[in-house]
């Protein structure tokens, strides 16, 4: 089974603003021309999407009937959602940053919480019968999946770069999950 993990294009939000699983943002215009590089993936594929608009816009361009999975939302940044990072209490922010894997954002999740949510869902995907699955989601979700399949500690997974509108490809075999590539950016080069 081929699995394509696609990070959504850049959302319409100011630089320096915290956004996550509670922020339902639309995409900045201009992403559509790059869609043709992945359009062929939608034939004979199961298209799965986070319910947030920045993912759903891409999923609906690939499929008339994408499957929407709430667990594929980005990490919940609780009280910090849509707040400029510079306006967040410095001591609270520093406390979270010193242990973002385990420390929860006020009113939100820790990265460990996100990882548990995603790996719980990932075990379900193993039972799908499709030959190809295309998943439109967020950087934190993709990092969680990659940390799981590559056995990378969560405090090191942010060493992997995941650009907006990038594709990572996995292959599930009887011998386990193989990573074929990570972070092929659709806006910078031809792909596939």
Within-domain flag for 139:
yes
Within-domain flag for 113:
yes
Q: What is the pTM of this model?
A: 0.93
Query: Where residue 134 sits, what CATH number does that domain have?
Result: 3.40.50.1240
Q: How far is CA 102 from the centre of its chain?
A: 19
Within-domain flag for 101:
yes
Within-domain flag for 190:
no
Within-domain flag for 192:
no
Q: Which of 127, 35, 29, 25 is nearest to 74 (CA)?
A: 25
Number of domains in the chain: 1
* Structural domain boundaries enclosing 103: 2-185
Assess contact for 19 and 52: CB atoms under 8 A.
Answer: no
Within-domain flag for 120:
yes
Residues 36, 162: Cα–Cα separation, whole Å: 20
Within-domain flag for 191:
no
Side-chain half-sphere of 124: how many Cα atoms within 13 Å?
A: 9
Please state which of the ranges 83-87, 125-129, 179-183 shows the lowest mean pLDDT: 125-129
Question: What share of the chain in percent tops pLDDT 90?
Answer: 81
Question: CA-based Rg of the chain, rounded to a whole angstrom?
Answer: 16
């Amino acid at each position: 089974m081929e699995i394509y993990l696609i990070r959504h294009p850049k959302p319409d939000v100011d630089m320096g603003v915290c956004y996550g699983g509670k922020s339902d943002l639309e995409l900045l215009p201009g992403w559509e021309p790059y869609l043709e590089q992945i359009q062929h993936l939608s034939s004979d594929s199961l298209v799965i999407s986070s319910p947030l608009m920045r993912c759903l816009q891409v999923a609906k361009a690939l499929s008339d009937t994408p499957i929407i999975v709430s667990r594929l939302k980005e990490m919940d940044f609780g009280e910090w959602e849509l707040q400029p990072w510079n306006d967040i209490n410095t001591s609270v922010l520093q406390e979270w940053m010193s242990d973002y894997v385990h420390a929860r954002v006020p009113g939100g999740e820790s990265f460990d919480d996100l990882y548990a949510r995603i790996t719980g869902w990932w075990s379900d995907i193993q039972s799908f019968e499709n030959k190809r699955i295309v998943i439109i989601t967020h950087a934190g979700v993709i990092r969680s999946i990659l940390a799981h399949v590559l056995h990378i500690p969560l405090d090191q997974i942010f060493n992997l770069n995941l650009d907006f509108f990038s594709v990572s490809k996995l292959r599930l075999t009887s011998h386990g999950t193989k990573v074929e590539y990570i972070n092929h950016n659709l806006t910078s080069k031809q792909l596939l």
